[in-house]
Amino acid sequence: MPVSRNQKKIFPGMRKDPIKLLIGLGFTSVLALMGLTIFISISQMRTITEQMSATLDETHAKISASSTMRDSIRLRGNILYKMYLTDDYIERDKYRLEFAEKALDYKKARDVLYTFSMSAREASLLNKLMEQTRIAEQLNDTAAESLLSDFPAEKIKADMQKANEARQKMLKGLNSLVSLQEEISHSIIEDTKKHEEVIGGIVSNLSLAAFIMALYIAQLVMKETSRKNSEIIYQATHDELTRLVNRKEFNHQLRRAFATTQTTAKNHALCFLDLDKFKVINDTCGHNAGDELLIQLTQIIKNNIRNHDTLARIGGDEFGLLLEGCSLDKAIEITEGLVRLIKNYEFNWQDRNFSVGVSIGMVMVTPETENIEKALSQADIACYAAKDMGRCMVHVHGLDDDRVKRMHKELSWVADVNNASTNNRFSLQLQAITSLQNRKSLSMYEVLLRLNDDEGTLISPASCLPAAERFRLMKDVDHWVIKEVFKHLSALYRTVPDCGVQLFINISANSLTNNEFTDFITQQYKKYNIAHAAVCLEISEIQAVKNITQTSCIISALRKHNIKFALDDFATSTASFSYIKNLHVDYLKIDGNIIKNMPHYNVDKAMVSAISQIGKVMNIETIAKHVENVFTLNQLKEIGIDYAQGFYLDKPTDINERIEEIKKSVPQRSIKY
């Protein structure tokens, strides 16, 4: 091996001195030996990694086969229950064929499981399970035959009960088998880590003893080994398609969360999500379309849960969701929000649009929860209940009464919406929109809707308007608000012609999809004879994008009459900038969450700055919402945002009181309308 330049510096004159030359050659030999040792270490680690990958693949195959057996058992129970529910013998006979098919699926998965080598514990569990299978198969077949016979109802019910008990024993056995296989998988990973640490230590010690460069090489080796090990662990705990944690890791996270309920008294919500109509897309467009849909829905769900929540793919179109440290009310709010988002989501594939839905079963994990297996079973049952109750809904295990109460509550809100105009249940408030650039402008206010309860107490719109939207009644609410606002504006401008007031009115999705909305607006302008610029109609970005063609038509039709428009909650999605090219609006009201995060995140500040620049280029004025402190206000001024709105600047005031304030302030103002 040739002597390097660095070695010549370390051993000057070694070419002349045989001893120095010998030392140099010896040191070179040490380096060569170290390189050989590193090579051997890498080879060993690669071998260990390959062995672990092969073992993990086998374990995953075992878990998959066991899960298939478990699913077959569960589905046979569901089919048997359907046979029991129907009185049509022809339909029962059809279910009997499906019942037999699921038995074949079970046997195929069992045969696959038998092709693998088994540990003593696995073999013992599997043999015990096979004994239970023989008993359960006979009892299930007996129950199925009873349902196809003229046996008394008592006998049929007794046979069903025996079959159910046998299935539960089989499910318990399969759960134990899957848990054991997961333990084996974790054990393999831990053993591999220990081997890698030993080898890494040897490499590091040799490097430190030989040369700094050897240490650097050892560090590179360890880094590469760690990366490969991380990839293997990631592959072992995550779904390849969606990059979500898989069933095995989800169960591990669930066990960890369950342990915290015993020590911290924190409650968690365990949810099973089952996609509706997914099979239609898979069968119609192929698996590539189904995979793309799963990826898109995964991102939607992740964007609408909390950062510390765990989302997992536990089956083909089934997901698990663990909401840690979550109350029941918050869990219902999150899951019902997911149901609405997925129900309203349109999936486009090769110029075809599809809609899907999701049914969610939920169970609370509390200190009183017996064990994880039971919680998983209850969440699974609740998910099926949600599907049986009509799909696209959330069913909470054990809370049927609360669900009924909430439904009655929503229906009562609907009655309030219908009767609000006659019973004077609605009221309006105005909140000022303040100019930040000291330019002369109109006095701008947003119109806020409030509902009064039976005792006259104000109620948040979030408590009643979702029910009104669900029952397609928001059009009536919009009409009431518009009439009231126009009535107040007409009276104000007759009294104070130069008051220079412009009111922003929110328009719901129900109105945007109503073909008669444009005519209604123009009729109100004629009826109350007010300047068109005195009103600005606000449309949320989400609603506008969802109905972008209809929204664009409404905006184009009304802008011909010089009616102003604002795009509310702007920048809620990454595609926001592309939408405004197709929606000709006068104002962009920036999403309040971005404004609130500006002082803490430079990315949000940069986004607000970009919106300001885009607005100036397109001649659209910008309005910042939810301004809550002077620091945020000063940043907005510096960026160049035109207007701001929030509790720091002005609190909502009853419309009658605000109009009186406007009347009193007019003589002191010099702004002309």
pLDDT at 505 > cutoff 90: yes
Burial category of 634 from C-beta neighbours within 10 Å (exposed 0-12, middle 13-18, buried 19 and up): exposed
Q: What pLDDT does 387 receive? A: 79
CATH code: domain of residue 224: 1.20.120.1730
Q: Please report, for residues 87, 244, 250, 260, 372, the alpha-carbon distance to residue 256 in angstroms, rounded to integers and kept in the order given.
A: 46, 18, 10, 7, 10
Per-residue pLDDT band at 279 (split at 50, 70, 90):
confident
pLDDT, tens digit, 9 for 90 and up, residues 179-235? 777 777 777 777 777 776 777 666 666 666 666 655 556 566 677 677 777 778 888
Would you say the C-alpha torsion 328, 330, 333, 339 has a positive or negative sign?
negative
Counting residues of the chain whose pLDDT is more than 90, the rounded percentage is: 24
pLDDT at 368 > cutoff 60: yes
For residue 669, being part of any structural domain is answered with no
Q: What pLDDT does 130 receive? A: 76
Q: What pLDDT does 311 receive? A: 94
pLDDT at 473 > cutoff 80: no
Out of 264-278, 403-417, 488-502, 655-669, which region has the weakest mean confidence (pLDDT)? 403-417
Tell me the C-alpha distance between 229 and 209, whole Å: 27
pLDDT at 5 > cutoff 50: no
Q: Are 296 and 377 found together in one domain?
A: yes
Q: What pLDDT does 14 receive? A: 44
Per-residue pLDDT band at 462 (split at 50, 70, 90):
low
DSSP class of 2: P
Q: What pLDDT does 300 receive? A: 92
DSSP class of 463: G
Tell me the C-alpha distance between 528 and 548, whole Å: 30
Q: Are 430 and 389 found together in one domain?
A: no
pLDDT, tens digit, 9 for 90 and up, residues 21-30? 545 555 566 6
Per-residue pLDDT band at 652 (split at 50, 70, 90):
very high
Q: Which has the higher per-residue pLDDT, 459 or 18? A: 459
Q: Are 353 and 380 found together in one domain?
A: yes
CATH code: domain of residue 546: 3.20.20.450
Please indicate whether residue 402 is annotated as part of the active site: no
Q: Which run of H or E residues covers position 318? A: strand 318-323
One-letter identity of residue 344: N
Residue 387 structural domain: 247-398
Say if CB 327 and CB 362 are below 8 A apart.
no
For residue 225, being part of any structural domain is answered with yes
pTM above 0.85, yes or no: no
Q: What pLDDT does 423 receive? A: 54
Out of 22-31, 286-295, 598-607, which region has the weakest mean confidence (pLDDT)? 22-31
Q: Which has the higher per-residue pLDDT, 310 or 121? A: 310
Per-residue pLDDT band at 669 (split at 50, 70, 90):
very low
Per-residue pLDDT band at 139 (split at 50, 70, 90):
confident
Tell me the C-alpha distance between 535 and 559, whole Å: 12
- Residue 618, Cα to own-chain centre: how many angstroms? 34
For residue 47, being part of any structural domain is answered with yes
Cβ neighbours, 10 Å, residue 141: 16
Tokens, residue 322: 């663990």
Q: Which has the higher per-residue pLDDT, 167 or 328? A: 328
* b/e code 413-447 from CB counts within 10 Å (16+ = b): bbebbeebeeeebbbbbbbbbbbbeeeebbbbbbb
- Sheet order of strands, 268-276 included: 310-313, 318-323, 268-276, 357-365, 394-396
Q: What pLDDT does 401 receive? A: 45
Q: Which has the higher per-residue pLDDT, 522 or 132? A: 522
259-260-261-267 Cα dihedral, nearest 10 degrees: -130
Q: Are 95 and 170 found together in one domain?
A: yes
Q: Are 27 and 168 found together in one domain?
A: yes
Mean pLDDT, rounded, of the chain: 79
Per-residue pLDDT band at 59 (split at 50, 70, 90):
confident
Select from 278, 280, 276, 258 the least CA-distant residue to 268.
258
Out of 243-247, 580-584, 596-600, which region has the weakest mean confidence (pLDDT)? 580-584
315-316-317-322 Cα dihedral, nearest 10 degrees: 20
In sequence order, what are the residues at sequence separation of 6 or more whose Cβ sits closer than 8 angstroms to the Cβ of residue 470? 410
Mean pLDDT of the region 557-564: 87
Tell me the C-alpha distance between 519 and 181, whole Å: 67
Highest mean pLDDT among 183-187, 429-433, 472-476, 508-512: 429-433
For residue 624, being part of any structural domain is answered with yes
Mean pLDDT of the region 516-526: 90
pLDDT at 644 > cutoff 80: yes
User: Of 398, 420, 454, which residue constitutes the final position of a domain?
Assistant: 398
Phi and psi at 511, nearest 5°, equal -75, -35
Q: Which has the higher per-residue pLDDT, 90 or 200? A: 90
Q: Are 412 and 556 found together in one domain?
A: yes
Mean pLDDT of the region 442-467: 74
Counting residues of the chain whose pLDDT is more than 70, the rounded percentage is: 80
Tokens, residue 235: 């592959």
Cβ neighbours, 10 Å, residue 116: 12
CA angle (563, 569, 570) in 5-degree steps:
85
pLDDT at 312 > cutoff 90: yes
In sequence order, what are the residues at sequence separation of 6 or more whose Cβ sits closer than 8 angstroms to the Cβ of residue 363? 269, 270, 375, 378, 379, 382, 396, 397, 398
For residue 545, being part of any structural domain is answered with yes
Q: What pLDDT does 671 receive? A: 39
277-278-282-283 Cα dihedral, nearest 10 degrees: -30
Phi and psi at 247, nearest 5°, equal -60, -40
Tell me the C-alpha distance between 360 and 311, whole Å: 13
Highest mean pLDDT among 410-414, 487-491, 496-500: 487-491
For residue 2, being part of any structural domain is answered with no
Residue with structure tokens 């919106």? 611
User: Of 398, 422, 449, which residue constitutes the final position of a domain?
Assistant: 398
CATH code: domain of residue 336: 3.30.70.270
For residue 281, being part of any structural domain is answered with yes
Select from 224, 226, 191, 221 the least CA-distant residue to 206.
221
Q: What pLDDT does 418 receive? A: 58
Beta bridge partners of 535: 503
For residue 157, being part of any structural domain is answered with yes
pLDDT at 111 > cutoff 70: yes
* b/e code 324-348 from CB counts within 10 Å (16+ = b): bebeeeebbebbeebbbbbeebebe
Q: Are 501 and 639 found together in one domain?
A: yes
pLDDT at 570 > cutoff 50: yes
Per-residue pLDDT band at 147 (split at 50, 70, 90):
confident
Out of 100-109, 295-304, 308-317, 468-477, which region has the weakest mean confidence (pLDDT)? 468-477
pLDDT at 537 > cutoff 90: yes
Q: What pLDDT does 338 receive? A: 93
Active-site hit among 159, 239, 276, 317: 317
Q: Are 484 and 633 found together in one domain?
A: yes
Q: Are 55 and 169 found together in one domain?
A: yes
Q: Are 252 and 219 found together in one domain?
A: no
Q: Are 161 and 25 found together in one domain?
A: yes
Tell me the C-alpha distance between 480 and 65, whole Å: 60
Q: Number of folded domains in the chain?
A: 3
Phi and psi at 221, nearest 5°, equal -60, -45
Phi and psi at 245, nearest 5°, equal -65, 150
In sequence order, what are the residues at sequence separation of 6 or more whose Cβ sits closer than 8 angstroms to the Cβ of residue 121? 180
Q: Are 206 and 282 found together in one domain?
A: no
pLDDT at 433 > cutoff 90: yes
Cβ neighbours, 10 Å, residue 390: 8
Select from 499, 484, 567 the least CA-distant residue to 531.
499
Mean pLDDT of the region 159-181: 77
